[in-house]
Amino acid sequence: MIRRLYMTLAGAFLLAPLIVVGVVAFTSASFVSFPPPGYSLRWLTRVLADPSFMRPLANSILLGLAAACAAAILAVPAALALARRQMRHAAEIESFLLSPLSLPALILSIALLFYLSRLGLGSGFAGLFVGHTVVVLPYMLRTVLAVARGVDPALEEAAHTLGADPWRSFIHVTLPTLRPGIVAGALFAFLVSFDEVAVALLMSSVGSMTLPVAILNHVAHNYDPAIAAISLIKIVLVIAVLLALELFFGLDRLMLSRARR
């Protein structure tokens, strides 16, 4: 009984802000108020037709996908090396690769801005892409590394014994065994990038502005409920991606190792 009550309260605590956002998105009023005096689709319609929200939304999706892919390309070899090789200073290298997690986001963003500006990449999609890859790399590395450490090296040895060259065994044996970590890491990486604001605030240009920055800019100068409407669209989008993954692939199947299924 107490457990059920606790779970209900915890659920309500987590869901309440989302419900408020969802309800306010349908308000007919010109300013944010709860409960709304009336209901209307005016703010959702306005936001969906507004390129100052839709273009950043597309940028955020593209950036999230690109950063997640780049993080996977970097994290998989790093995780394999850390998990399998008897390297000197392996712990230090792992800590270094995870270090973006330990820095305050704003400090990291200022450091990236100053560094990438010297390379001519301080403002625009390229800088954002590099910055977000740095930010999401630890999430990808952690999940892939956790899976890689649990994989039996004998599987690859068996593939070699049966005649597979290193690339073939990597594609057909190693990658499938790492898949749960890569998929889980990519999901985390995409969501972290999709929500990231500190790096994007300092490094986005007009054409590469991301959705969180567009929302922040709007909040700073407007008091209308368009912000609730775009937030609702964002929430629905994330839920839709998770549902699609569940429907077509099964989240359990993607994120649990073969051995555990």
Partner 1 sequence: MRDSIRRLAAASVLLIALPVAGALAQDKIVVTSSGGVWLDSAKNNFATCFKERTGKDPEILVSASNEIMQRLRASPGNPPIHVAVLSEIDAIRAGQEGLLDKLTVEKVPNLKDVPEVFRKQWNDFATIQNFGAMIVMVNGEKVPNPPQDWKTLIDEVIAGKYGKRVSFPSLTMPWGPMFTWFLTTLYDGSEDVVFQKYKAMLPNMAKYWVSPVDALNMFAAKEIDILVYWDGRAYAFAEENKWAKAYIPAPGAFQSAAMLAKPKGAPELAWQYVDCVLSPKAQLGHSHTVKYPIVNSKVEYPADLKAILTPLEKVRQPDFARIIERVPNWLDRWNREIR
Give me the residues that bind partner 1 (CB under 8 A), please: 30-33, 66, 69-70, 73, 110, 113-114, 117, 120-129, 165, 167-168, 171, 201-202, 205-209, 217-223
**What is the DSSP secondary structure assignment for residue 27, as one 8-state letter?**
B
* Residue 136 backbone phi and psi in degrees, to 5: -90, -15
Whole-angstrom distance, CA of residue 149 vs CA of residue 145: 6
Our CB check for partner 1 shows the closer of 26 and 53 to be 53
Our CB check for partner 1 shows the closer of 6 and 223 to be 223
Our CB check for partner 1 shows the closer of 69 and 98 to be 69
| Shortest distance, position 59 Cβ to partner 1, whole Å | 10
| Shortest distance, position 205 Cβ to partner 1, whole Å | 7
Whole-angstrom distance, CA of residue 244 vs CA of residue 22: 21
| Shortest distance, position 28 Cβ to partner 1, whole Å | 14
Buried b (16+ CB within 10 A) or exposed e, 162-197: eebeeeebbeebbeebbbbbbbbbbbbbbbbbbebb
| Shortest distance, position 55 Cβ to partner 1, whole Å | 13
Three-state DSSP at 39 gives: strand
Our CB check for partner 1 shows the closer of 94 and 182 to be 182
Q: Contact, 191 vs 205, CB < 8 A? A: no
Alpha-helix residue ranges (DSSP H) falling in the chain:
2-24, 42-48, 51-84, 90-98, 105-118, 125-150, 154-161, 166-169, 175-195, 198-203, 211-221, 226-248, 251-255
Our CB check for partner 1 shows the closer of 43 and 125 to be 125
Our CB check for partner 1 shows the closer of 94 and 127 to be 127
| Shortest distance, position 137 Cβ to partner 1, whole Å | 14
Our CB check for partner 1 shows the closer of 64 and 94 to be 64
For residues 189, 193, 194, 198, the Cα torsion angle rounded to the nearest 10 degrees is: 150
Q: Contact, 55 vs 209, CB < 8 A? A: yes
Whole-angstrom distance, CA of residue 71 vs CA of residue 189: 8
Whole-angstrom distance, CA of residue 176 vs CA of residue 170: 9
| Shortest distance, position 127 Cβ to partner 1, whole Å | 7
| Shortest distance, position 104 Cβ to partner 1, whole Å | 15
